[in-house]
C-alpha cells in the first residue's frame, strides 16, 4: 500500500503544455488511493479540459473563486482546509512568481495563500522553457519559495515542446508520485547512509557468453527506494539490470562479482547499513577467452574450469566496522528449498545479525515476493506482498534494530 493511501490532495494546474502530464499524475494518485480534488487556472484550461480532469479524478473540477456550488462562496477556504497537501503541477514561471508575491487573483493562487501553512504543505512542480528556468529572476523566485517553506520539486531535462532541449521540463508523473510518497514518509533514517547491492552479476566466459542468474534486481531497487524515502542517503551498487534508478539514489553500475566487491568496499566506510540483496555468482570461469569460443565440428565441448568468487557479504560483515556493529549488515538468501534451514545456516556462516530469505525461483523477475527474516532469536515471516511494500517493512524492521 502506498504511503499516499487515504490522503486528500488538491491538484492544481496552472498554464503550460506540461498540463497533459497532470492527467497521468491524477490517474496515478487515484490508483495509489488518494482522493484528488482538481483546481485549474483559466490559463490551464487552454491546455487541458476540466471534463478530462473530472473524469480522471471522479470529482467536480473547480476553476473559479466565484463557484456557486459552495454555500458560503468560499471555495478558497473550504478546499484548502480539507487537503493534506496542495500540489501544483505544472507550476508555471508566472504562477510561481505570483506565489512569491502573494498574488491571489484567481482560485488556485488564492487557495495557496489562504491555506493553513502549518497544516497544509504546498508542493510545486515547475514546468517551463529552459531559458525561463535558468533566468535569474526565476532562480531567485525558486530560492525564496523554498525559504518560505514551499516544497519545490526538481525539473527534468530533455526535449521541450518549443523544440529546444534543456532543463525546465516538468517531472514525469511517476517521478512526482515517488517524490510525494517520499514527502509523506517519516524520515526514520535521516542522517543515516545505506549501501545496497542489487541484481545478478555476470561472469564472462568469452566476449559474448557468460554465467549469470535470473535475478531482476527489483527487490534491491525497491529497498534502495524505501531507504531513500525514509530519509537515508542511499548508494545502490547494481549488477547488469534494466531498471530505472530510484529518485535521489546514487547508482554505481557493475558487472562481475569482483567489480561489485570493489564498489562495495569503496562505499562501505561511509555507510551505516549494508544490505546485500544482490544474487552474486558463486563461481566464475578461471579464464575468460579473448575471442568467442568456436565449435570446431569435432563434437567436443570446451573444457571450462571455475574458481570461487569473493564472498562480498562475509568480507564486509567480518571487516572491523562490520564485526564491531558500526556497520549493520543484512544478508539475503535466495533458496529453492528448505528456506529456514538454509537461511539460518547462512546467517551464522556469514556472521550477520539479520538474514532475509526468499524462494528465488518463485520471485525472480516478479513484482511481488514473500520474505523470511532470520536473526539470533528465530525467524519472522513477511507475508506475500509487492516488493515495494516488503521493502518498506524491511526498512522499518532495520530501523527498529538500529535503535
- Rounded CA-CA distance 49/121 in Å is 26
Q: What is the DSSP letter of 247?
A: T
- Rounded CA-CA distance 311/93 in Å is 53
Cell 483546481 found at: 39
Run of H or E residues at 44: none
- Rounded CA-CA distance 1/30 in Å is 13
C-alpha cell at 66: 466565484
Enumerate the β-bridge partners of residue 355: 331, 374
Kindly report the number of other CB atoms within 10 A of residue 217's CB atom.
24
Where residue 361 falls (left for φ over 0; alpha for ψ -120 to 50; beta otherwise) is alpha
Cell 538500529 found at: 402
Residues 6+ apart with CB under 8 A from 248: 182, 228, 234
**Mind telling me the catalytic residues?**
162
Helix (H, G, I), strand (E, B) or coil at 259: helix
Where residue 16 falls (left for φ over 0; alpha for ψ -120 to 50; beta otherwise) is left
Where residue 299 falls (left for φ over 0; alpha for ψ -120 to 50; beta otherwise) is left
Amino acid at each position: 500500500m502506498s504511503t499516499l493511501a487515504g490522503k486528500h490532495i488538491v491538484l492544481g494546474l496552472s498554464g503550460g503544455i506540461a498540463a497533459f502530464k497532470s492527467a497521468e499524475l491524477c490517474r496515478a494518485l487515484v490508483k495509489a488511493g488518494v482522493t484528488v480534488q482538481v483546481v485549474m487556472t483559466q490559463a490551464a484550461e487552454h491546455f487541458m479540459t476540466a471534463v478530462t480532469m473530472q473524469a480522471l479524478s471522479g470529482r467536480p473540477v473547480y476553476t473559479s473563486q466565484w463557484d456557486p456550488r459552495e454555500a458560503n462562496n468560499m471555495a478558497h477556504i473550504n478546499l484548502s482546509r480539507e487537503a493534506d497537501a496542495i500540489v501544483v503541477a505544472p507550476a508555471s514561471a508566472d504562477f510561481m512568481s505570483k506565489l512569491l508575491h502573494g498574488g491571489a487573483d484567481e482560485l488556485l493562487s488564492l487557495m495557496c495563500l489562504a491555506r493553513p501553512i502549518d497544516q497544509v504543505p504546498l508542493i510545486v512542480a515547475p514546468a517551463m522553457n529552459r531559458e525561463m528556468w535558468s533566468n535569474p529572476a526565476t532562480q531567485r523566485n525558486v530560492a525564496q519559495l523554498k525559504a518560505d517553506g514551499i516544497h519545490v520539486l526538481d525539473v527534468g531535462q530533455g526535449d521541450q515542446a518549443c523544440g529546444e532541449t534543456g532543463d525546465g521540463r516538468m517531472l514525469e508523473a511517476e517521478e512526482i508520485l515517488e517524490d510525494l510518497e517520499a514527502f509523506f514518509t517519516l524520515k526514520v533514517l535521516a542522517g543515516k547512509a545505506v549501501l545496497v547491492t542489487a541484481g545478478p552479476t555476470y561472469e564472462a566466459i568469452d566476449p559474448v557468453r557468460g554465467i549469470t542468474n535470473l535475478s531482476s534486481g527489483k527487490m534491491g531497487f525497491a529497498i534502495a527506494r524505501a531507504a531513500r524515502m525514509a530519509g537515508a542517503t542511499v548508494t545502490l551498487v547494481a549488477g547488469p539490470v534494466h531498471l530505472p534508478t530510484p529518485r535521489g539514489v546514487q547508482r554505481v553500475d557493475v558487472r562481475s562479482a569482483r567489480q561489485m566487491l570493489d564498489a562495495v568496499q569503496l562505499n562501505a566506510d561511509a555507510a551505516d547499513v549494508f544490505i546485500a540483496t544482490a544474487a552474486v555468482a558463486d563461481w566464475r570461469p578461471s579464464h575468460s577467452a579473448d575471442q568467442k569460443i568456436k565449435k570446431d565440428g569435432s563434437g567436443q565441448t570446451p573444457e571450462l574450469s571455475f574458481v570461487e568468487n569473493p564472498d562480498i557479504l562475509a568480507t564486509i560483515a567480518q571487516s572491523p566496522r562490520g564485526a564491531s556493529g558500526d556497520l549493520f549488515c543484512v544478508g539475503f538468501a535466495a533458496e529453492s528449498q528448505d528456506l529456514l534451514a538454509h537461511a539460518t545456516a547462512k546467517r551464522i556462516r556469514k556472521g550477520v545479525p539479520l538474514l532475509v530469505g526468499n524462494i528465488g525461483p518463485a520471485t525472480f523477475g516478479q513484482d511481488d515476493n514473500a520474505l523470511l527474516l532470520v536473526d539470533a532469536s528465530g525467524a519472522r515471516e513477511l507475508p506475500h506482498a509487492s516488493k515495494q511494500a516488503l521493502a518498506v517493512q524491511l526498512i522499518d524492521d532495520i530501523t527498529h534494530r538500529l535503535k
